[in-house]
Amino acid sequence: MRYQRPIRLFVFPAVALVATAFVAFVRAQPAIETIAVQVNRPGAAVSPTLFGLFFEDINFAADGGLYPELVKNRSFEFTEPLAGWSRPMTAEGQLIALAEGGLNENNPHYLRMRSEGASGFGITNGGFRGIGVEAGKEYVFSAWVRTPGGAGPKSLRGALLGGGGGRGGGKLGEATLTGFSGQWKRYEAVLKAATTTPNARLQVSVSEPGDLDIDMVSLFPKDTWKGRPNGLRRDLVQLLADMKPGFLRFPGGCIVEGRRLALRYQWKKTVGDVSERRSIINRWSDENARVAPDYFQSFGLGFYEYFQLSEDIGASPLPILNCGMACQFNSSEMAAMDQLDEYVRDALDLIEFANGGTDTAWGGLRARLGHPAPFNLKMIGIGNEQWGKAYVDRYKVFSAAIKAKYPAIQLITSAGPSPSGAQFDFLWGEMRKLKADLVDEHYYQPPQWFLDNSHRYDNYDRNGPKVFAGEYAAHTPEKRNTWGAALAEAAFMTGLERNSDVVQMASYAPMLAHVDAWQWAPDLIWFDNLKSFGTPSYYVQKLFAANLGNRILPVTVPNGLYASALLDEKSGEVILKVVNAGNAERGVRISLGDVKGAARAWVLSSELASENSVEKPLNVAPVERSSGLDLSLAARSLTVLRVPVR
């Protein structure tokens, strides 16, 4: 993902645009046009991983989003140790941030609360643009606590306060931790919220004089995906699972590289107990004043959780690893060729972590974390969006080492940040020589580019490296998630399907964005602290991914329409996707041979400027109905048709 200049705050229209989701299926007139599908000429196999997901921790996608920790800077490891926390205005006491004697070397900072009066003393956390809680739901309040010298306050209270830190908001629930000693230990208690609010605050306080050391202060929902203690936000995972994705790419793009190599993503530091995962400043922290300087990665969502998520939603895991180069948009820093051993070893150890037996070092760690069975890793990305000879030289080192030990693992290589140009051509030429497995192409372009490039892959070399369309999205001038942008993406995706023997994988990017804390738009899914919704692009992606056959069928369409056809041999259905990007209805007859039963159709259609929002999440959404083979394609529409055939 490339740097994008800050743009104005994303504001959904106050007046809802009127969607024209209803599409009437009618009997054909004599002048009707024909879409011909050659069912008797099935072609190449369709990649089962054709449509998948791209995840990057941008727009508060991890902490504050998919990873539902409600306390910001829970470990006091931000550059400013008390970032996210508010000091009390009147209580008697001191807050002392210390960096010696902490939990471990990865989590050295902690907070000493020194209460000096009988009235008690506390500190308040505002969460990620507020703390979202729901009435009647349970939340685990926990902290690592010790009493220095073995004496101090005997209890630590966590209280949910209404918006504004309790001034006019009131108490929404509380829980108390007790039983402390002079040694660090984790304590927890369950807190039940009395009210639903997106902007509560957490007050952590003591009521007795003395010193108390605290660290890893957490408020975590019990109602996570699959109920896991360090689980993920349920509604967001459900949106992902509903797409039936073929793969999940993680942990992102530029975030893999880091602005400096010291701040690159290192997977080994993201597994194990969450208290031992070292926080670092997020690659996207200082791109925009709305999130700087308090945008860090806690790595509560780490590589083990990414593999779990992939398995949960039925997606093949696709980890991307640093190749010894920092983000080239920010830095020319790179590891010397004779200093790549650490980077290559990380790649080899990751394969062992994912696939190795429980008797291996890293496979054994996976088993101890709770997953003795392998994760069935089949592919790894080497670098993100690198370019130039320096990248090619480093890729060769990785390829030689990985293929020698794990020849079945497929490697993803870079085509640079642009869909054309000198660097793009250079990298493709080099990757053809090296017989690379897949080459990652990125394109953030205007909607018209996607319409014009629906035939981009028709003439790609069928015997060369395969294509991974790893990052793409149609960008309107305002960078909004309009139906017009999604419609152009749908037209382009018909070309991906028709050429699935070349294009093996494709993913929209970015995937997630918090409506109050984001750097990049458009995005696939937006959310606040309580609710989430899919954009028109989300529903396009969902319709394509959930309606994927296994053989390509030749299809002929009239001018001005975009289409792809697949055969689902398991269900015995032809799957036809047709985009009418014009402003007029088009009457068509579908010709595909011997039909076995009634067809089903899903239709997306609206005004080009239409959008979804938290208030109107289904303003642009598919309409399902039965259908015949003579139908009217609404203006500005995507139609997905499933027809049983003999």
SS3 631: strand
Contacts of residue 330, defined as CB under 8 A and 6 or more positions apart, other chains included, come to 3, 259
Q: Which residues of 512-535 are buried (b: 16+ CB within 10 A; e: fewer)?
A: bbbbbbbbbbbbbbbbbbeebbbb
- Is the pLDDT at 26 greater than 70? The verdict is no
Tens digit of each residue's pLDDT (9 = 90 or more) over 45-94: 999 999 999 999 999 999 999 999 999 999 999 989 999 999 876 677 88
* Pairing, β 85-86 against β 121-125: antiparallel
pLDDT at residue 436 greater than cutoff 70: yes
CB of 95 closer than 8 Å to CB of 205: no
DSSP state of 278: P
pLDDT band at 9; cut points 50, 70, 90: very low
Pairing of the two strands 185-192 and 532-534 = unpaired
pLDDT of 31 higher than 80: no
Whether residue 54 contacts residue 247, with contact meaning beta carbons closer than 8 Å, is answered with no
Digit-coded pLDDT (tens) for 273-286: 999 999 999 988 86
* CA dist., res. 460 & res. 502, Å (int): 7
Confidence bin at 2 (pLDDT 50/70/90): very low
Burial 442-458 (b: 16+ CB within 10 A, else e): bbbbebebbbebbebbe
Rounded CA separation 19/575 (Å) = 25
Residue-level pLDDT at 285: 83
The Cα–Cα gap between 288 and 10 comes to 13
pLDDT at 87: 82
Average pLDDT over residues 176-202: 97
Q: What is the mean pLDDT of residues 561-590?
A: 97
Q: Which two tokens stand for residue 328?
A: 């080239």
Other residues' Cβ atoms within 10 Å of the Cβ of residue 639: 26
pTM over 0.85: yes
Distance CA 168, CA 175 (A): 21
> Which residues lie below 8 Å from residue 334, measured CB to CB, with a gap of 6+?
261, 324, 325, 326, 390, 394
Mean local confidence (pLDDT), 176-200: 97
Q: In the prediction, which pLDDT does 442 show?
A: 97
Any idea what the Cα angle at residue 434 is, between residues 442 and 48, rounded to 5°?
Answer: 55
The C-alpha atoms of residue 89 and residue 84 are separated, in whole angstroms, by 16
Mean pLDDT of the region 570-585: 97
Q: Which residue has the higher pLDDT, 21 or 357?
A: 357
pLDDT given at position 164: 52
Find out whether 329 and 287 touch, Cβ atoms under 8 Å: no
Q: What is the CA radius of gyration of the chain?
A: 26
Query: For the residues 219-223, what does the mean pLDDT come to?
Result: 98
Q: What percent of the chain has pLDDT over 90?
A: 86
Arithmetic mean of pLDDT, 116-120: 78
Contact 470, 509 (CB under 8 A): yes
Residues 501-542 have pLDDT tens digits of 999 999 999 999 999 999 899 999 999 999 999 999 999 999
SS3 string, 402-433, reads: HHHHCCCCEEEEECCCCCCCHHHHHHHHHHHH
* Beta partners for residue 114, in sequence order: 94, 211
Catalytic residue, from 56, 69, 257, 385: name it.
385
Assigned token pair, 159: 């209280």
CB atoms within 10 A of CB 552: 21
CA 311 to chain centre: 15
Distance CA(292)–CA(276), nearest Å, equals: 25
Greater pLDDT, 168 or 302: 302
Instruction: Please compute, for residue 584, the number of CA atoms within 13 A of its CA located in the half-sphere on the CB side.
Output: 4
Condensed to tens digits (0 to 9), the pLDDT of residues 128-182 reads 999 999 999 999 999 999 999 878 899 999 999 997 544 445 899 999 999 999 9
Q: Are 394 and 359 in contact (CB under 8 A)?
A: no
Q: What is the pLDDT of residues 240-258, one digit of tens each?
A: 999 999 999 999 999 999 9
Kindly state the helix (H) or strand (E) to which residue 241 belongs, with its residue range.
helix 234-242
pLDDT value of residue 4: 43
Residue 430 annotated to the active site: no
Instruction: Give residue 593's pLDDT.
Output: 86
**What confidence score (pLDDT) does residue 384 get?**
95
Which is more confidently placed, 43 or 170? 43
- For 138, the enclosing helix (H) or strand (E) is strand 138-146
